[in-house]
Chains A and B, each alone.
Chain A
Amino acid sequence: MNVNWGVMIPILTKAVGETFQMIGIALVFTIVFGLLVGVLLVSTDEGGVNEAPFGSRRLGAIIHAVLGFIVNIGRSLPFIILMVVLIPFTRLIIGTFIGPTAAAVPLTIAAIPFFARLVEIALREVDTGLVEAARSMGAKRGTIIWKVLLAEARPSIVLALSTSVISLLNYSAIAGTIGAGGIGDIAIRYGYQRYDNSYLFTTIIILIVIVQVVQLVASAVARKLSHR
């Protein structure tokens, strides 16, 4: 197998940069909105701190049901279909659907419900006794969410984040097939369509390394945050 590193390295460097760009942008929005949706899913549920926003249990139940429904829709579409469906939307806000920045739009839309569900699970694992203790001390709902639920769930949320990053990496490869660029794009165009195994294997190795690093870092951070 003859490998022309002089040609390959710049191509891969650019591809890795594009992958990081689309994942990076998507990640920022995923963290913000995923946490928000996750918190809302837990807090508006029966027995949650916000089960009756503005004093209305019905409103809480409605918010909870609607959010759950939307999250499930997001999770039921295969990414490649979601991406196609979202083309008009992407074009509307970015101006194009080609390139890594544009790809960040469907990536974000796909990752938010995924991360939100993981946040929901992490928050539900927090002992209800802690919420009760905070209430007995006269804590406001916001304090309970910030200082009890989110603070106690931090290690689990970090792990959920790493799982989401790895999913985003997976999605980004699919995005590559419709013009997003990135590592996946290289693997398909050079490795698959040109039968150049050196590109295929190199991209695989890069992906494996990225996933391992993400997981290692996340596990280390989670361990550091956890005092259970």
Chain B
Amino acid sequence: MITITDLHKSYPPRNARGTTVEALKGTDLTVADGEIFGVVGQSGAGKSTLLRCVNLLERPTSGSITVAGQDLTTLGEAELRVARHGIGMVFQHFNLLSSRTVAENVEFGLEITGVDRAARRARSAEVLDLVGLGDRASAYPSQLSGGQKQRVGIARALAGNPKVLLSDEATSSLDPETTDSILQLLKELNRTLGVTIMLITHEMEVVKRICTSAALIEGGRIVESGNVIDLLNTPQSKIAHALFPLGESRGEPGNTVIEIMYAGHLADEPIVGRMSREFGIDVNILGAAVEVVSDHRVGRMRLELPGSVESNAVPIARLKDSGLYVEVLEGAL
């Protein structure tokens, strides 16, 4: 649905002594149809610039952006405006017009596309129902809570039936509970409407809760990208480690430390207890996390086994055989 190829964006120096700032240095990214794709990264990593390039709010210095089969970078101003009708966007600070009611805000995009008044009314009522704000149509944004404002923002973005929804830190200025409800709404809309969602966030929680795929951006480059479950099964995946922080506990010298990842039905099995019983070893749990990630129960555990890796070869092989991903951290000599 979205294909970004070798994207570069640099900002010219602001004055004679300034330097050119390179926000994106050859970014490649593919977002498949129907995905919820999360781009994570620290502030200044380029994620905001990347998102703004997708609908060309920022014009890239070079590279191409294809949305729904159309290369946006080749379009003229008028064609680009039409293409933007198919790309909804929600913002961290909602960006609702204070002079318009909720319904009039939702209708704004339809006014732009020239939909007649009656059809606009009907459509805004429809999408406001969808986001659960059917009864606040004639309120002004200032009368709403943050979560309600973001619901209006989402309704406005969806009014024109876009194929793609871009979310710029949509939950970053909301409290945890409201964040939850907005994420649930996005997931629901993705499921029922089939709208592809690309979001940027600095909150790992967002990826954990709704993203099917994720990418990590550092210094203007994508350093990691893929299906969230696959990433969790990838050795040394930074996203996986960030999703499951296990602490720094490293166990006793001379012992073997392993990390295991498990997903799906394996998450329901008593792995540690069985291993302990079967091989008669005292397994020490150094850290563990079990979470629901994109509707899969997944867990990550760091275990300490007494003795060297060689002496634990059989139990480790047994774990691997049962379909777990196992990574040996200590005592691997």
Contacts and interface: CB of A to CB of B under 8 A. Distances in A.
B13 to A, nearest CB: 14
Nearest to A153: B99
Interface residues of A, number: 22
A227 B142 contact: yes
Which of B81, B113, B166: most chain A CB closer than 10 A?
Answer: B81
B112 A148 contact: no
A228 B108 CA distance: 18
A133 B91 contact: yes
A133 B99 contact: no
A129 B93 contact: yes
Given A143-B112, A147-B111, A133 B82 contact: no
A200 interface: no
A130 B81 contact: no
Interface stretch (A100-108, A110-118, A134-142, A168-176): A134-142
B98 A132 contact: no
Contact of A137 (B80, B98, B112): B112
A127 B99 CA distance: 12
Contacts of B160: 137
Contacts of A227: 98-99, 140-142
29 contacts: A127-B93, A127-B95, A129-B91, A129-B93, A129-B95, A130-B95, A133-B95, A134-B112, A135-B57, A136-B57, A136-B88, A136-B89, A136-B166, A137-B84, A137-B109, A137-B112, A137-B156, A137-B160, A138-B82, A138-B112, A139-B81, A143-B112, A147-B97, A147-B111, A151-B97, A154-B99, A226-B98, A227-B99, A227-B140
Interface of B: 55, 57, 80-85, 87-89, 91, 93, 95-100, 108-109, 111-113, 140-142, 156, 160, 166
Given A129-B91, A130-B95, A138-B80, 13 more contacts: A127-B95, A133-B89, A133-B95, A133-B96, A135-B57, A136-B57, A136-B89, A136-B166, A138-B85, A148-B97, A151-B97, A154-B99, A227-B98
